[in-house]
Amino acid sequence: MSAGRTVLITGAGHGLGLEWARQDLADGAVVFATARDPEDSPDLRRLAEEAGAALTVLPMDVCDDASVERCAGEVGSRVRSLDGLINNAGVHGPRDDRALRASAGELRRVLEVNTIGPYRVTRAFLPLLRNGREARVVFVTSRMGSIGDTPSGGSYAYRMSKSALNMLGANLARDLRSEGILCLVLHPGWVRTRMGGERAPLSAPAAVGGMRRVAAGATIRESGAFLDHTGAPVPW
């Protein structure tokens, strides 16, 4: 599915975003990999050296309007369309915040990155997606944002931000269905990344490989679905 496609990935400096870029490149895609500070990611720099012209690394802070608009302008000066947008950039925020211990400022920061950031990015790149072939927008979310999956307390900011992100993906899917642009809300599982920690059972290659298969195999009928990396539905 990646061969001949042009894809933009946010949060590609490490973890799931970096692995998604690596797998898309291996399948023949042209990739724009963005990170808030690419110079802070030696792994992304190494990947760029290996990939050559197939990979363009660009700075983009999903919390900054001007940064996102600059990146969209740069991508638009190089290509006339995008076939895929992977909204992967995210933060966890306070973990020990049971009974509302986190400040409003801490909550605001997580919402800015995890919810408003994907809104801002998707809005900026939507014109290029409208020119794409069977364009797909993926929102990398978390089962922790599920209200129907019996929340266990704590991680208020992260859970709230992902619940709101899920609503963004579900609504956008409905609005873009008539244009043939597919949106998916995907839970990668508990993954061994900086956020997931070493105890997580899934490797980044396995989680990303699963999400990529789900995204590639989805039809417009599945647009707006909340699925895990195996394609199984997740309760809202």
Structural domains of the chain sorted by starting position, each given as residue range(s) with its CATH number in brackets: 6-228 (3.40.50.720)
Across 42-58, b (16+ Cβ under 10 Å) vs e yields eebeebbeebeeebbbb
Strand 182-187's sheet: what is its strand order? 55-59, 30-35, 6-9, 84-87, 136-140, 182-187, 226-228
Catalytic residue, chosen from 158, 166, 228, 229, is 158
- The reported pTM is 0.96
Bridge partners of 30?
A: 6
Mean pLDDT of the region 205-212? 98
- H helices then E strands: how many in the chain? 7, 7
Determine whether 88 is exposed, middle or buried from the number of CB atoms within 10 Å of its CB (0-12, 13-18, 19+): buried
Q: Which of 162, 187, 212, 229 is catalytic?
A: 162
Q: Identify the band that residue 232 occupies on the pLDDT scale cut at 50, 70 and 90.
A: very high
The whole-angstrom separation of Cα 48 and Cα 144 is 33
Q: How many CB atoms lie within 10 A of CB 219?
A: 8
Q: Is the pLDDT of residue 1 over 60?
A: no
Question: Which DSSP state fits 229?
Answer: T
Indicate if 162 belongs to the active site. yes
Looking at residue 3, the DSSP 8-state letter turns out to be T
Confidence of residue 34 (pLDDT cuts 50, 70, 90): very high
**Is 38 a residue whose pLDDT tops 90?**
yes
Position 154 confidence tier, pLDDT thresholds 50, 70, 90: confident
**Shortest CA distance to 56 belongs to which of 72, 22, 33, 76?**
33
**pLDDT score of 39:** 93
Average pLDDT over all residues of the chain? 95
Q: Which residues make Cβ contacts (< 8 Å) with residue 23, sequence separation at least 6?
A: 2, 205, 208, 209, 212
| pLDDT per position as a tens digit, 126-140 | 999 999 999 999 999
pLDDT digits (tens, 9 = 90+) for 76-90: 999 999 999 999 999
